[in-house]
Amino acid sequence: MQTEVSESQRTARAAALKGFSVGVVVVGLIALVAVAAIRETAKPRQVEVATNSAFGHSERPPMTAAEETYAHALWPVHAQVKQDAVKMTFAGLAYKMGDIKRAAVKDRVALLTPKFESALTEINKLQPPASMRELHSEYVEAIKLYRDASVIMVKVAADGRDVHLAEAQERSERASTLTLKVGDTLWPGEYKPN
Amino acid sequence: MKNSMKHALVAAGLAAAATLAAPVAQAQVCSVWLVENSRFMGVPFGAFMPDRAFVPGSTSPSNNINTVDLPVNVGVIKCGNELILYDAGWNQTEYHKMTGTAHWSPLSKQIEQIGFKAADVKKIIVGHGHWDHAGSLDEFPNAVLYIQREELRGIEWALNYPHPRISAVNDSPGSCARTPACGYPSKTMDSIYGKVLRGKAVIVDGEMDVLPGVKIHPAFRAHTAGSQLLEVNTAIGKLMFGSDAYSSWEGIRDWQIANPQQTDTVQQFLAYEKCYKITGGYQNCVCAHEPLSYSDKYPLTKNSWVGMNGGRLAEITLAPGEKSRKP
């Protein structure tokens, strides 16, 4: 069935359609602008990329001021502890490679015990922010392990039994795992790809 | 006088004949794979290779690349029933989380992709003792570590040097790349020492035949004090693993230094020369951090695929009778 439509009806319908189309476009544009504005204002703050390394980059979110202060205060302790820990390991290695006698193990390692004690004193003075209390406890634990390792290791001078070295090495490796973890968290550029 | 000369000549002749007649250990033909333990992302090219430093606006192919991604390549070598690793990658999960690295997986898991178990690894020959090359030793309890005495003595020398800027393991965050004791965290050193204490280490003095067809060559100061190369006999000729004595294949091809950490650059060039001499060129030199690894541009490594966590692997060569482990 066909319906007859007059010229004036057609003109009116075309005008209404045109108006409707313009309206849709205008509303669409307004909606677009509104959505863009909402998205822009709601956009999360870009996480800054810290570039404290000349070799590679870090994706670590920025530390708070309190965390920075803590990391800054821990660094000199950490730098010395790492050095002393590796020296302790090398006393054992030098002995096992036949480069030094067992008495020399004691000479070298006994010097390190008070240094680990001193590091423990220093670190106990630090007040970690709440976000770093766990890391702090791990670091304290690590230094205690190093100190205990040094005390055990010197016993080899008395009886020449490698069991002391093995016992000390086990503690030292546990401590090293902890200090490495803390170091990688606080100073991601600490060790370079090399 | 004449008689004694004659006797000497006869004796020498007999000795030579005896030498020729003696049973000579047959060099085995080994199979070799390369595993990407991780990738250091976005490293400035100039920090890796000074001659390739980025020059803004340059159209020279040598200077128009800003950053590169460096794989950490580990060699997996099978000679008969003997499974050997050249280098041992690294395992510091915090580092992985906090810095620009990607595609890391535990090395012991990665080798499972080519059908090997950690317990099967009998020997680990580290090119040097840095944390990213000797960092997974604990994952391979049955393996005997091979490390140069010179490497250990070099670290100890540095640790006991009187000037703190030289003796420091590192003196400030991010600044230690070229101090001689840098790159050797206590964890890595404890792992090495643990191997020594458990009777699972061979302290190497210079050259050493590990197996027939597998030989260690010293490359002292080519990257670190006691760097060492590994010659491996294969069906495609001799391969020479360089670790960081030649970190870059483009470097060894173009005679440009790479990864100059604790490096005497003359010694690095001599390590390059050793690879050229032993393998007959640069194609069979296996490099630890070549950015072109696992692509046609580094042909030795082109037979590659992508494995767990996006880490890549390459099947370099197979011994007669060895079946492909490429999926």
Give a yes or no: residue B17 inside a domain: no
The per-residue pLDDT string of chain A (194 residues; one tens digit each, 9 = 90 and over) reads 333 445 555 555 555 556 555 555 555 555 555 544 444 333 333 333 333 333 334 456 788 999 999 999 999 999 899 999 999 999 999 999 999 999 999 999 999 999 999 999 999 999 999 999 999 999 999 999 999 999 999 999 999 999 999 999 999 999 999 998 898 888 876 776 66
User: Chain A within 8 Å of B309 (Cβ-Cβ)?
Assistant: no
Give the ipTM: 0.86
Residue contact A180–B92, C-beta within 8 A:
yes
Tell me the C-alpha distance between B280 and B288, whole Å: 20
Residue ranges making up the domain that contains B62: 25-205+291-317
Tell me the C-alpha distance between B155 and B314, whole Å: 33
Beta bridge mates, B78: B31, B83
The CATH number for A179's domain is 1.20.120
In this complex, the residue of B42, B160, B190 whose CB is nearest that of residue A172 is: B190
Residue contact A173–B185, C-beta within 8 A:
no
For residue B177, what are the contacts with CB-CB under 8 A and spacing of at least 6? A54, A55, A192, A194, B183, B261
Give a yes or no: residue B327 inside a domain: no
The per-residue pLDDT string of chain B (327 residues; one tens digit each, 9 = 90 and over) reads 445 545 545 545 544 444 444 445 788 999 999 999 999 999 999 999 999 999 999 999 999 999 999 999 999 999 999 999 999 999 876 666 656 789 999 999 999 999 999 999 999 999 999 999 999 999 999 999 999 999 999 999 999 899 888 888 876 666 666 788 888 989 999 999 999 999 999 999 999 999 999 999 999 999 999 999 999 999 999 999 999 999 999 999 999 999 988 889 999 999 999 999 999 999 999 999 999 999 999 999 999 999 999 999 999 999 999 999 999
Give a yes or no: residue B220 inside a domain: no
Give me the number of domains chain B comprises.
Answer: 1
Output the CA–CA distances (angstroms, integers) from residue B46 to A133, B50, B68, B245, in the order listed: 39, 4, 9, 17
Residue contact B98–A83, C-beta within 8 A:
no
Interfacial A residues in 10-49 facing B (CB < 8 Å): none
Give a yes or no: residue A16 inside a domain: no
Output the CA–CA distances (angstroms, integers) from residue B234 to A6, B33, B207, in the order listed: 92, 12, 20
CA of A48, closest CA in chain B: separation in Å?
Answer: 13
pTM of the predicted model as reported, rounded to 2 decimal places: 0.83
Please report residues of B whose CB lies closer than 8 A to that of A191. 95, 131, 170, 176, 182-183, 185
Residue ranges making up the domain that contains A142: 65-186
Residue contact A57–B41, C-beta within 8 A:
yes
User: Chain B within 8 Å of A63 (Cβ-Cβ)?
Assistant: no
Residue contact B99–A162, C-beta within 8 A:
no
The CATH number for B94's domain is 3.60.15
Give a yes or no: residue B129 inside a domain: yes
Give a yes or no: residue B197 inside a domain: yes
Tell me the C-alpha distance between A33 and A30, whole Å: 5
Output the CA–CA distances (angstroms, integers) from residue B292 to A157, B39, B100, B247, B286, in the order listed: 52, 12, 19, 11, 12
Give a yes or no: residue A47 inside a domain: no
